[in-house]
Amino acid sequence: MSKGVRRNFTKEFKIEAVKLATEPGANIVEVARNLGIHDSILRRWINASKEGGAAFRGHGRLKPEDEEMRYLRKELERTRQERDILKKAVAFFARESR
């Protein structure tokens, strides 16, 4: 694979790779070579899985709590923008009525 090209792996692929590499008697370097990835990437995934797996970024779905948090943050930002527009409109019309 040429340098400069970044490959994306799904969360499921990462989880399966970690399972293969952490089986008794498994060799991380061989597992990584068989999967077509560098062993340092596989080691990073293994360390991330020990932290609870939340560090796996992939194309998997978010947990419902995280999805709701993302939605609420977007909604809050939109509401703040609407508030700022209304403040400017009130200030504008207050100047006009003088």
- Reported as a single tens digit per residue, the pLDDT across 39-91 is 999 999 888 888 765 556 655 666 788 888 989 999 999 999 999 999 999 99
Provide the residue ranges of all domains of the chain, joining segments of one domain with +. Answer: 8-60, 61-98
CATH code, residues 8-60: 1.10.10
Q: What is the pLDDT of residue 43?
A: 93
pLDDT at 94 over 80: yes
Compute the distance between CA of residue 1 and CA of residue 95 in angstroms, rounded to an integer. Answer: 64
| Closest by CA position to 37, among listed 61, 12, 13 | 13
Q: Model confidence over 15-36: pLDDT tens digits?
A: 889 999 988 998 999 999 999 9
pLDDT band at 13; cut points 50, 70, 90: confident
